Amino acid sequence: MRNYQQDRPLTKSAIVIGGGLVGSLCVSLLAQRGYKVTLFEKRGDIRKLESANGRSINLALSHRGRQALKLIGIEDEALSHSISMKGRLLHNINGHTKSVIYDPVSNQCIYSIGRNYLNRALLDVAEKDPNVRLCFHHKLTDVDFQTGFITLKSIKSGEILQTTADLIIGADGAFSSLRSFMQKTALFNFSQNFIDHGYLELCIPPERGGKLHPNHLHIWPRRELMMIALPNLDNSWTVTLFMPFKKFESIRNSENLLHFFNDIFPDALPLIGETELKNFYFSNKPSALVSIKCNRYDMNGKFLIIGDAAHAMVPFYGQGMNAGFEDCFLLNEILNETRDDVGRTTVLFTKKRQIEANAICDLAMYNYEEMRDLVTKPSFVIRKLLDTYLAKIFPRIWIPLYNSVSFSHMPYSKCIENKHWQNQILYATFSLLILVMATLVVLLRAI
Q: What is the contact surface with ligand FAD in residues (CB under 6 A)?
A: 17-23, 40-43, 56, 59-60, 139-140, 171-173, 177, 199, 240, 307-309, 315, 318-322, 324
Reported as half-sphere exposure (CB side, CA atoms, 13 A), residue 404 has a value of 23
Min separation Cβ 47 and ligand FAD, Å: 13
Closer Cβ to ligand FAD, 65 or 398, answer by number? 65
- Residue 325 amino acid letter: F
Closer Cβ to ligand FAD, 88 or 398, answer by number? 88
Closer Cβ to ligand FAD, 136 or 261, answer by number? 136
Q: Cα-atom radius of gyration of the chain, to the nearest Å?
A: 24
Min separation Cβ 358 and ligand FAD, Å: 15
- Minimal CB distance to ligand FAD: which residue? 20
**What CA–CA distances, in Å, run from 371 to 289, 293, 297, 437?**
16, 23, 30, 34
Closer Cβ to ligand FAD, 135 or 426, answer by number? 135
Min separation Cβ 321 and ligand FAD, Å: 3
Q: Which helix (H) or strand (E) holds 418?
A: helix 412-446
Min separation Cβ 45 and ligand FAD, Å: 11
Closer Cβ to ligand FAD, 143 or 268, answer by number? 143
Q: Which of 244, 284, 249, 252 is nearest to 56 (CA)?
A: 284
The C-alpha atoms of residue 310 and residue 305 are separated, in whole angstroms, by: 5
Closer Cβ to ligand FAD, 44 or 270, answer by number? 44
Around Cβ 94, how many Cβ atoms within 10 Å? Answer: 8
Which residues, including other chains, have CB under 8 Å from residue 138's CB and lie 6 or more apart?
40, 41, 42, 152, 153, 154, 155, 161
The C-alpha atoms of residue 175 and residue 178 are separated, in whole angstroms, by: 9
Min separation Cβ 295 and ligand FAD, Å: 19
Please give the DSSP secondary-structure letter assigned to residue 257: H
**What CA–CA distances, in Å, run from 307 to 81, 96, 301?**
23, 38, 19
Which residues, including other chains, have CB under 8 Å from residue 23's CB and lie 6 or more apart?
16, 17, 39, 41, 169, 171, 172, 307
Please give the distance of CA 197 from its chain centroid, rounded to a whole number: 17
Q: Which helix (H) or strand (E) holds 437?
A: helix 412-446
Closer Cβ to ligand FAD, 231 or 318, answer by number? 318
Min separation Cβ 315 and ligand FAD, Å: 4
Min separation Cβ 242 and ligand FAD, Å: 8
Min separation Cβ 207 and ligand FAD, Å: 25
DSSP one-letter string for 78-121: HHHTEEEE-EEEEE-TTS-EEEEES-TTT---EEEEEHHHHHHH
Closer Cβ to ligand FAD, 166 or 327, answer by number? 327
Q: Are 201 and 48 in contact (CB under 8 A)?
A: no
Min separation Cβ 255 and ligand FAD, Å: 28
Closer Cβ to ligand FAD, 59 or 78, answer by number? 59
Closer Cβ to ligand FAD, 307 or 400, answer by number? 307
Min separation Cβ 206 and ligand FAD, Å: 21
